[in-house]
Amino acid sequence: MNHSSFPFGSTVIDSILFRDAFGTAAMRSVFSDQQMVQRYLDVEVALAKAEAQVGVIPQDAADAIARESRLDRIDFDHMREETDIVGYPILPLVHQMVVMCGEAGRYVHWGATTQDIMDTAVSLQVRDALDAVAEDVRQLRAILAGLAQRYRDTPMAGRTHLQQALPITFGYKVAIWLAMFDRHQQRLAELRPRVAVVQFAGAAGTLASLGDKGMEVQQALAAELQLGVPATTWHVARDGFAEAVNLLALVTGSLGKIALDIMLMASTEFGEVYEPFVKGRGASSTMPQKRNPISSELMLAASKAVRQNAGLMVDAMVQDFERATGPWHAEWIAIPQSFILTAGALHQAKFALGGLIVDEARMAHNLGMSKGLIVAEAVMMGLAPTIGRQQAHDLVYDACRAVNEQGGTLAAALAAMPAITQHVERATIDRLTDPVNYLGLSSQMVERALALSAAIV
């Protein structure tokens, strides 16, 4: 096979080997060269239509521009060569549009500046990308809601500082994951109108070249593209795009938290959950027994990369005067990468959680590992009404030390203490030391989380 025929990539975003592990075809398409240039064309055509609508250019010129400006007529090689020289792709595009539009070519890009076209095109890309992320989050929430409901009452060890702390249910843990993504769903909806706005303001942002028609053209252009109208020019006010990427950092940060939980719970010593089994997935080249949590690893890696891009976007907000000298360019790196990595991480999450294997028996086994010590608080609180809180604390503390030093169970250690048995029966001790009887309001919290989630679309 002639390998030169492959469109080889050099990063995980476009690599033949890695691109579907770290991204999705749909999100790559949104930010592909072809779609980007198509969006440039869309903006230029919409601008011509808007200007004709308010009488800035002839209607027949706008019609010709709309008719003749087609992606299949773009010479990408020539456009790339000229972009290398100019530093921006819009002038090279306009040169080709002028030729393909003939007599109407004189009205192409009328009153606009390069950044107007590029920013508006990115707004269109980000709008579509946010819609895709919102749909993925919606699907992931449905998966999490199903898991929370199914395992609402499944007891397991809750852990703090990586030590067993108190009993919880697995459904409670998943409900916490669900609530995070409920909030992300709301954030995505709230963000969209702030970032899906048109950019059309001219060289220094004052629309001077269009006289008193500038605002009308801006509004007509926004309507044509179904974008919002900003309060002011945002050539150097980059908070919208920065907010978008920082929201992606929150989304992938939550995915990273879930991934870390899954990886720890899937470790040999825990063995409580596993990613779905697919023959060969997570296999080791040298250890046949391995079943590595690949999706979780990819989710965690993506969360780290998007977090770095979030910082880059905030850094790029610091721009000089009315047009920036370089921070703008950093967005060209961070925005596509962040959306593609986020889409990839969400895809991995839907796979891992959609088929998650939960070992309830192993959860119960691990919950019993401490021989009752995990519910020492329950015993103390159960004895407190009879013998006082502090005395109960001291007696249970001594019983716990006895278990740690001599073995046995907390129930047996308590049953051997006359100061306790004179107040409570062995059946009461057994009840107090059973972790299943000390789940708090785990199940009720699951129900509340599910009810609140169902109200979020």
Active site residues: 161, 284
Token pair belonging to 313: 């976007």
Give which of 444, 449, 451 is closest to 179, Cα–Cα.
449
Residue with tokens 């109200």: 455
Q: Between vectors from CA 176 to CA 175 and to CA 177, what angle results, nearest 5°?
A: 90
Tokens linked to 213: 């028609």
Q: Which residue has the tokens 């278990």?
A: 403
Name residues whose C-beta falls within 8 Å of residue 366's C-beta, 6 or more positions apart in sequence.
Answer: 156, 157, 164, 270, 272
Report the distance separating Cα 313 and Cα 311, nearest Å: 5
CA 114, CA 94: separation in Å to the nearest integer? Answer: 10
- Beta-bridged to residue 274, according to DSSP, are 357
DSSP characters for 242-253?
Answer: HHHHHHHHHHHH
Please tell me whether residue 48 adopts helix, strand or coil conformation.
helix
Report the Cα 358 to chain-centroid distance in Å: 24
- State residue 413 phi and psi, 5-degree precision: -65, -40
CA-wise closest residue to 400 among 224, 392, 66: 392
How many Å apart are CA 365 and CA 252, to the nearest integer?
32
CA distances for 365 relative to 155, 168, 370, 373, angstroms: 10, 14, 10, 14
Query: Closest Cα to residue 143, out of 178, 167, 191?
Result: 178
Site of tokens 């027949």: 60
